[in-house]
Amino acid sequence: MSGGHTAKAKRLASFIENLAVALALAVAWVRPTPASAASLFLQVMTPAVTLTPSATDYVNDYVEVTGASGIELRIKTNDPVGMSILVRCSDPAPQVALNDFLVRTTTPPGAGGSALSSYAPISATNVFLWSTGTTLAPFFTVLTDIRIRNLIRYDDSPSAGTANYMNTLVFTVVSP
């Protein structure tokens, strides 16, 4: 090869080498980086609730706690598809019959989500309570209402004194 051709060949080789490096960088730039793991957060702010029936409650045959008197949950998520809250009774032998133990929330659902806005019986398996279809930050509060019906079944009439009944609820957050 003559000197001119050798210089051209070296420039071409250098150009191809630089092009290969530039393409590799472009591919690295375009390639999506792995998304951070989504995090779901739930904190039960009301660890226990006491329902004390009045004479009127016995006439109505139910006792309830609602709104801020109920169970307060504090939640947040960075998951772009949102999150759902589920609730269940974990007691192997619940003291209040599951069909008599009702839950709901009057907290409006998050964007693209839904909520259990009418009372429904609790179960030993997860019951849907509330959801959002997008990220949720900063912290958001979901209030859970509790109603115990069929009070006549439970030995605690106004003149009988006090009887204690306890059921344990488990709240779970999941990504849809």
Alpha-carbon gap, residue 127 to 105, rounded angstroms: 12
Angle CA(167)–CA(108)–CA(42) in degrees, nearest 5? 50
Confidence bin at 158 (pLDDT 50/70/90): low
SS3 69: helix
Q: Are 65 and 146 in contact (CB under 8 A)?
A: yes
Is the confidence at residue 71, as pLDDT, over 90? yes
Alpha-carbon gap, residue 104 to 73, rounded angstroms: 13
Alpha-carbon gap, residue 158 to 32, rounded angstroms: 66
Determine which of 19-28, 37-46, 100-109, 117-126 has the lowest per-residue pLDDT on average.
Answer: 19-28
Question: Domain segments of the chain: what residues?
Answer: 1-33, 40-174
CA distances in angstroms from 122 to 19, 23, 32, 98, 125, listed in the order given: 65, 59, 43, 6, 8
CATH tag for 40-174 (out of 1.20.272, 2.60.40, 3.40.50, 1.10.3470): 2.60.40
What is the overall mean pLDDT for the chain? 83
Alpha-carbon gap, residue 97 to 146, rounded angstroms: 13
